[in-house]
Chains A and B, each alone.
Chain A
């Protein structure tokens, strides 16, 4: 079965610094989505990147996709304390009918 997973359980940075979360997956996909889940809330989508795209941006966020290595990254620049959350990648498998969420990476941004 397909597995998507982020490479690290947790990352800590200080406000203003940049942080990158990496994700790897194991089968062909049509797209990959990044979600953020803050404490006490449900996940919220940040960026969607299709399999024919290599790069997509949304404000301070940038997602990359490398289908040859089956990996993706999400970078956040100029981090803020409110960026503290769990970040998930979610793959959209070819022929599949449900998103497969990764294991999540906790990002902590301190003042």
Chain B
């Protein structure tokens, strides 16, 4: 099966803890993304990686960091979580960055984070 996979599905933690979310795509894509979706369903791009190079890094807090071992994996680490980090974190991938029109993004099911 070719798709975007995320683990865990759901994570509850306390303020100050460190968390890490995994994302793997089996679509053979070159670019992967992390989005944050808040309780109002607003989607905000956080990071994207193209061939292991960080090419978009929006103004997210420094406690967030993307980690990639190869083009099929892009993990997200949050050091010292805060209550406002509670959200759904969505991973996505697409096939090519260089065209005049951005390719379709394929999303995973998301990781729901609750910070107590």
Mask: chain A, 70-91; 1 = CB below 8 Å from B; 0 = not: 0000000000000000101000
Q: B108 contacts which chain A residues (CB < 8 A)?
A: 42
Range for the number of chain A residues in contact with chain B? 20 to 34
Q: A37-B41, A99-B45 are in contact. Are A45 and B101 (CB under 8 A)?
A: no
The answer to whether B41 and A40 touch across the interface, beta carbons within 8 angstroms, is no
Q: How many A-B residue pairs have CB under 8 A?
A: 60
Q: A48-B101, A92-B102 are in contact. Are A40 and B109 (CB under 8 A)?
A: yes
Q: Which residues of A from 2 to 51 have beta carbons under 8 Å from B? A: 30-31, 33, 37, 40-45, 48, 50
The answer to whether B90 and A104 touch across the interface, beta carbons within 8 angstroms, is no
Mask: chain B, 75-116; 1 = CB below 8 Å from A; 0 = not: 000000000000000111000010011101111111000000
Q: What is the interface of chain B, defined by CB distance below 8 A to chain A? A: 4, 33, 35, 40-45, 48, 55-56, 58, 90-92, 97, 100-102, 104-110
